[in-house]
Structure 1
């Protein structure tokens, strides 16, 4: 009678590698940003787990991922790293995705995976979204100054206001993504690789034309709104420039200094564009 050789389950290290190379990239084709988010979550967890368990990552097993360890990691994120509940839940989402994948590759550990997946997301209150008055919005936009950075920042804020786009979408805009002739629009590359086209107002088109005349080397695949090194701006860079604009506008509109103004606020202030695609007549 022939003996059936039992297949050896993959090691924990092999599961982590397969999760990224085979599942996320090859099968799901998720965006590089999502891969980076999941990578950071697992790196944080492995670093914490190794210290708690006294094991190297190569020595870990799925059975080590007990609910108590995961809950301790999530508490560490909130208490020691001062992460918000939203960030905590994002890290847990990445862990859960890995566990579901691992359970399909190592069926002998399904019970351990099931117990680990029982750790719930944490509920939290969503704060009421702040808003800007028309006068405050006009003050934040301001007028383009003489310096290179001032003119870039003005166009940055104008495009955020015009399009209602996420920061990641705006800093990802390339020169080739902007259509200025005919029905002017900008092609945005959003979350989940979604593409959408947003009409541009006449004032925005004029601002882009002026910016490109000032920077004749910005062509094709180049970032429309680069930093001093010619690369795309970062999210923290945009937040810094917006904070400067709000501080400047606070002289004219003191109420701004009592508000937490973020790019998300600008997204929700976006008016409905007119049929002709012209700028908001309230401004």
Structure 2
């Protein structure tokens, strides 16, 4: 069967993600994936709006009206915050500028897309995190009688232990894990910055048993990815989100407080930060632990946790609150979405 001819939009998307973002812009893999997510959502919306498959969309379908409708769709239909809407628009602006340099015949339309404004009034997004009882419920909901269940258990336990971003955890290879004293893992974060995170003795036992169970990889075992799917391929962020959503739904039957929370893989990272704060760890250490660029990012966790606020109030008004003593895609146009998802 002859492969379909790629559209001009398909060819430009390949150049954008394979050459422009990582090469000319020098963006990290995680940032490239963030742009990928925004463009994938836009393509899906444009396909439905134009009533054509994604593989048949053209650069001419990238109109100001359609992008504006997409931004409204994010807020109204998907319930995204203004901050998320603005982040998606930022990725679209970058792609529009890239197209403008290559498609001068579409310059007028692309300039109007670039001129679409960010929305004001973006408030700090509430930090969604899991309390200790909720984390326990999620882990207990995982069936560890199967190899995949044991993989999921180790993955989520490790993410909570380290506060790793989901892609940082998925990029882990066996060489990044040290189980001898002092036990630690090596994470590669934004901007390819490397940091070391200590791991608990119980996490060491989980990882040792998990690695011993893994099949013998081809080539150098140290280069083998730690977490793969049933076919031995790398797990994706989409896959981890799906798994966590399933386990959270099951755990919510036992812990109803989780039902009103919008939990996603990054919530485990938030949970780690809150737990460290409650344990009395200073902001500078937490910032380094999580790989934050600065303390301002870490400080939002102090604003997020109600228990910390109660502690602050009790220090100011102790008498009032203290109780009495006593108690690479081949651009043939046939699988553009699949290629984007695999990035």
Fold-level match, TM-score > 0.5?
yes
Larger Rg: 1
Change beyond 3 A, Cα 1:139–1:75:
closer
- Aligned residue pairs total 257
Q: Deviations over 1:149-189 (max 9, x none)?
A: 23222211210110111222212222222122233222223
TM-score after normalising by structure 2: 0.58
Residue aligning to 1:231: 233
Distance (Å, rounded) in 1 between the aligned partners of 2:12 and 2:137? 53
Distance (Å, rounded) in 2 between the aligned partners of 1:154 and 1:230? 17
| Match runs of 1:106-185 below 5 Å | 116-123=113-120, 124-142=122-140, 145-185=144-184
Gaps of 5+ in 2: 1-7, 52-56, 282-343
Residue 97 of structure 2 corresponds to residue 97 of structure 1: no
Q: CA RMSD in A?
A: 4.2
TM-score after normalising by structure 1: 0.68
Looking at secondary structure, tell me which structure has more helix per residue: 2
| Match runs of 1:19-38 below 5 Å | 23-30=20-27, 31=29, 33=33, 36-37=36-37
Residue 264 of structure 2 corresponds to residue 262 of structure 1: yes
Return the structure number with greater relative CO, CA threshold 8 A, min gap 6. 2
| Match runs of 1:9-88 below 5 Å | 23-30=20-27, 31=29, 33=33, 36-37=36-37, 40=40, 43=43, 57=58, 60=60, 70-75=67-72, 82=78, 84-85=80-81, 86=83, 88=85
Residue aligning to 2:255: 253
Change beyond 3 A, Cα 1:101–1:227:
closer
Q: Deviations over 1:110-158 (max 9, x none)?
A: 8876654332112444443344333333333338733222322221121
Q: 1:241 aligns with which of 218, 240, 243?
A: 243
Distance (Å, rounded) in 2 between the aligned partners of 1:27 and 1:231? 29
Change beyond 3 A, Cα 1:153–1:77:
closer
